[in-house]
Amino acid sequence: MTAQRIAIVTGAARGIGAGVAERLAKDNVAVAVIDLDEAACKPVVERIEAAGGRAIAIGADVADETAVENAVERVVEELGAPTVLVNNAGIIRDNLLFKMTVSDWDAVMGVHLRGAFLLSRACQKHMVDAGFGRIINLSSTSALGNRGQANYSAAKAGVQGFTKTLALELGRFGITANAIAPGFIETEMTHATAERMGLDFEEFKAYGVKDIPVGRVGLPADIAAAVAFFASEEAGFVSGQVLYVAGGPKA
Ligand code: NAI
Q: Is the CB of 89 under 6 A from ligand 1?
A: yes
Q: Is the CB of 136 under 6 A from ligand 1?
A: no
Q: Sketch the domain layout of the chain as residue ranges.
A: 6-183+218-245
Taking the centre of ligand 1 as the mean of its atom positions, its distance from the CA of residue 172, in whole angstroms, is 31
Estimate the crossing angle of helix 220-231 against helix 15-26, to 10 degrees.
Answer: 50
DSSP 62: T
Instruction: Mark whether 152 is an active-site residue.
Output: yes
DSSP 210: T
Q: Is the CB of 148 under 6 A from ligand 1?
A: no
CB–CB of 247/216 below 8 Å?
Answer: yes
Q: What is the pTM of this model?
A: 0.98
Cβ-Cβ contacts under 8 Å for 169 (sequence gap 6 or more):
none
Question: Could you tell me if residue 240 is left (phi over 0), alpha (psi between -120 and 50 degrees) or otherwise beta?
Answer: left
Give pLDDT tens digits along the chain (251 positions): 568 999 999 999 999 999 999 999 999 999 999 999 999 999 999 999 999 999 999 999 999 999 999 999 999 999 999 999 999 999 999 999 999 999 999 999 999 999 999 999 999 999 999 999 999 999 999 999 999 999 999 999 999 999 999 999 999 999 999 999 999 999 999 999 999 889 999 999 999 999 999 999 999 999 999 999 999 999 999 999 999 999 999 97
- Structural domain 6-183+218-245, CATH architecture: 3-Layer(aba) Sandwich (3.40)
Q: What pLDDT does 1 receive?
A: 55
Q: What pLDDT does 34 receive?
A: 99
Q: What pLDDT does 65 receive?
A: 98
Q: What pLDDT does 196 receive?
A: 87
CB–CB of 115/89 below 8 Å?
Answer: yes
Taking the centre of ligand 1 as the mean of its atom positions, its distance from the CA of residue 12, in whole angstroms, is 8
Give the helix ranges, DSSP H, for 34-178.
38-50, 65-78, 102-109, 115-130, 150-170
For ligand 1, pick from 8, 69, 92, 189 the residue to mutate: most ligand atoms within 8 Å of CB. 189
Ordered DSSP codes for 18-57 = HHHHHHHHHTTEEEEEEES-HHHHHHHHHHHHHTT--EEE
Q: Is the CB of 182 under 6 A from ligand 1?
A: yes
Dist CA 219 CA 38 (whole Å):
24
* Catalytic entry in 152, 184, 204, 230: 152
DSSP 181: E
Taking the centre of ligand 1 as the mean of its atom positions, its distance from the CA of residue 15, in whole angstroms, is 7
For residue 35, give the amino acid letter.
D
Cβ-Cβ contacts under 8 Å for 55 (sequence gap 6 or more):
21, 25, 30, 31, 32, 33, 44, 45, 48, 49
Q: What is the dihedral of CA 109, 113, 117, 120, to 10 degrees?
A: 140
Q: What pLDDT does 3 receive?
A: 87
Taking the centre of ligand 1 as the mean of its atom positions, its distance from the CA of residue 179, in whole angstroms, is 15
